[in-house]
Chains A and B, each alone.
Chain A
Amino acid sequence: MGESEKRVTPDDRLTGLEKRVNDLQMLIDVSAIISSTLDLNELTALVMEKAKHVMRADACSILLFNHKTGRLEFDVAMGSDARDGEILKRHVTLGLGEGIAGWVAENCEPVLVEHAARDDRFFSRADDLTGFTTKSLIAVPLLGRGGLLGVAEILNPRERDSFSGHDLELFQALCRQVAVAMENALYHKDALERQRLRQELELAATIQRSFLPDTPVKVFGQIRLSGFTLPARHVGGDLYDFVEPLPGMAGIFIGDVSGKGVSAALFMAKVMSDFRYQAHGTADPGLVLRRLNQQLSDTPRGMFLTAIYAIADQRSGAVALAVAGHPPFLHITPAGVTVVNPDAGPPAGIMDTDFPVTDLILSPGDRLIMMTDGAFDAKDGGGKRLCFDDIVSFAVRNGREDRLTDLIAGFVTDFTGAADRADDLTIVEMRYGI
């Protein structure tokens, strides 16, 4: 009598039924596991452990498809020896079409291999490395909405020579659930990563603000210093400070560090600390910038600082200032607006150099207005940029206005319209005679 004609006894039926119930129970258990965690590592390990147990297999694995390298990498590999998994994770990756898993990934089709050794596609290196002998296996693609996520494999059924068609169906059902869960977990991971980055940037912005003066206006004798920063979409590296370096003197410092984000915020914090340390006790702005330049010379990744440091005599209005690669500034007098582009050094942190000092005399009512390049780096919705001359023309037209700095900020903000400003905008003012 042939195998197919073997009589099915009630005991066989009962055993078959029990197995189906067990299989169904496994799918329910897996469902519960899947809805209980969004941790991808925990999830794949729990599910595969369950599959290995219920399908009575010696080993199982999940290989994830790395879209950057185009290769499959072991994520989970469970056998009798835990060390095998580590060996596979560390030493084995498969290209598309390479080995049975690579074939499944390339063709996006499941496969049941009854005798691995007789299959041309079989990749024996994994067995060679671990000492495991693959006999029969099922490999199923894990497919998400965005395409291939990876391949799941189950190897060597216990007490049988090979897996059956029913095992394939069961493993496929399981893998469909795993794929959905993996995709959810990946989306969740992305969302968490985005949230973490957002929090980091918020922290950077907070650090940055904490280094700015705690009041927007400071009066030293006849000198009134004011300033503000309009933050941009990305955390930038604008800074300003009001200091009294020596009795009778009033200093205003404005700067912009290169780059954006956390690194710019941290660099800005370093600059502020170094500046306060160097500014104390000297009325020579060129010396302060030279020392600052030396301290910033080891800055990584070519980061640099553009800055102006102006020190005024609180009574006479005589100003000494030095510039490190910072854009020109405006001198507003009753006669009009002058653009001051003094002899200057390059940005600080690049090369060993001097910063020449320029002297100016302020008459009562005179103002100096200095800006960071966020003012003339602003883009409107159509991508057009505001240039320095536009701001100068605006300042000339409105030179008599008392709140010129606010007007300039409004002008820039109106220009950008709905478009987010890519860079911070900082404007400071030194006014003589209050």
Chain B
Amino acid sequence: MKIEVGDYRGNMVVSLTGEIDMHSSPVLREKLLVLIKDRPQKLIVNFRDVSYIDSSGIATFVEGLKHMKTYNGRLQFSEIPRDILEIFSFSKLDKVFEIYASLDDAVDR
């Protein structure tokens, strides 16, 4: 898995590539918690190039979300591929995370 942190229209965007599983999620966790330490008001995770996510990957985002909620920060997901969106919808994770079709949608909300 590759993690890139960038900026899109003044918002911090974490772009992920590859599989988020029990092997890669500890690295993601470390990176995410460092970013959240600065208490960003909004953090967008772009899933465009993610091919798979397992429950340990989802737990990593749940942990990040719980941290961000303590200061009313928002964790937003964008461009989730169809098969991953299916998992999110199965698992009713769309009730947990803010999910947007595009980066612009995430920024504008």
Residues of A within 8 A of B (CB): 234, 256-261, 301-304, 306, 323-328, 341, 344-347, 350-351, 353, 373, 377, 385, 387-388, 422-423
A302 touches B91 (CB 8 A): no
Contacts of A373 in B (CB 8 A): 55, 87
Taken residue by residue from 68 to 86, chain B's Cβ proximity to chain A (1 for < 8 Å, 0 otherwise) reads as: 0000000000000001001
B92 contacts A by Cβ under 8 Å:
yes
A259 touches B59 (CB 8 A): yes
Q: Lowest 8 A-B CB distances belong to which pairs?
A: A302-B63, A302-B62, A258-B55, A302-B59, A258-B59, A325-B91, A346-B92, A346-B95
B96 contacts A by Cβ under 8 Å:
yes
B90 touches A327 (CB 8 A): yes
20 A-B pairs besides A261-B22, A302-B63, A350-B96 with CB distance below 8 A are A234-B22, A258-B56, A259-B55, A302-B58, A302-B59, A302-B61, A302-B62, A303-B59, A324-B92, A325-B90, A325-B91, A327-B91, A344-B92, A346-B91, A346-B92, A347-B93, A347-B96, A350-B66, A377-B54, A388-B90
Contacts of A303 in B (CB 8 A): 59, 62
Known: A258-B55, A258-B59, A346-B96. Contact between A302 and B66, CB under 8 A?
A: yes
Q: List 8 A-B contacts (CB under 8 A).
A: A258-B55, A301-B63, A304-B62, A306-B91, A325-B93, A350-B65, A373-B55, A422-B21
Nearest B residue to A353, CB-CB: B95
Contacts of B29 in A (CB 8 A): 301
Contacts of B86 in A (CB 8 A): 387-388
B64 contacts A by Cβ under 8 Å:
yes
Cα–Cα, bound, A353→B94 (Å)? 14
Q: Interface size (B, Cβ < 8 Å)?
A: 25
Contacts of B96 in A (CB 8 A): 346-347, 350-351
B46 contacts A by Cβ under 8 Å:
no
B91 touches A347 (CB 8 A): yes
Cα–Cα, bound, A346→B87 (Å)? 12
Contacts of A344 in B (CB 8 A): 92
Contacts of A327 in B (CB 8 A): 90-91
Q: Contacting B95 at CB < 8 Å: which of A260, A261, A345?
A: A345
B90 touches A302 (CB 8 A): no
Contacts of A234 in B (CB 8 A): 22
A388 CB → nearest B CB, Å: 7
Cα–Cα, bound, A304→B62 (Å)? 8
Contacts of B65 in A (CB 8 A): 302, 350
A314 CB → nearest B CB, Å: 30
Interface residues of B in 21-41 (CB under 8 A from A): 21-22, 29
A375 CB → nearest B CB, Å: 12
Cα–Cα, bound, A422→B54 (Å)? 10
A234 CB → nearest B CB, Å: 7
A328 touches B90 (CB 8 A): yes
Cα–Cα, bound, A344→B21 (Å)? 25
A298 CB → nearest B CB, Å: 10
Contacts of A301 in B (CB 8 A): 29, 59, 63
Contacts of B61 in A (CB 8 A): 302
Nearest B residue to A261, CB-CB: B22
Contacts of A328 in B (CB 8 A): 90
B98 CB → nearest A CB, Å: 13
Nearest A residue to B66, CB-CB: A302
B68 CB → nearest A CB, Å: 12
Contacts of B55 in A (CB 8 A): 256-259, 304, 373
Cα–Cα, bound, A341→B89 (Å)? 10
Contacts of B63 in A (CB 8 A): 301-302
A258 touches B90 (CB 8 A): no
Contacts of A324 in B (CB 8 A): 92
A191 CB → nearest B CB, Å: 22
Cα–Cα, bound, A256→B61 (Å)? 17
Q: Contacting B58 at CB < 8 Å: which of A258, A341, A345, A353?
A: A258
Cα–Cα, bound, A385→B95 (Å)? 25
A387 touches B83 (CB 8 A): yes
Contacts of A306 in B (CB 8 A): 91
Nearest B residue to A328, CB-CB: B90
Contacts of B22 in A (CB 8 A): 234, 259-261
Contacts of A353 in B (CB 8 A): 95
Nearest A residue to B63, CB-CB: A302
Interface residues of B in 1-55 (CB under 8 A from A): 21-22, 29, 52, 54-55
Cα–Cα, bound, A344→B86 (Å)? 15
Known: A260-B22, A328-B90, A345-B95. Contact between A350 and B62, CB under 8 A?
A: yes
Cα–Cα, bound, A303→B63 (Å)? 8
A217 CB → nearest B CB, Å: 28
Contacts of B52 in A (CB 8 A): 385
A304 touches B95 (CB 8 A): no
Max chain A CB contacts within 10 Å: which of B21, B83, B92?
B92
Q: Contacting A302 at CB < 8 Å: which of B54, B64, B83?
A: B64
Contacts of A304 in B (CB 8 A): 55, 58-59, 62
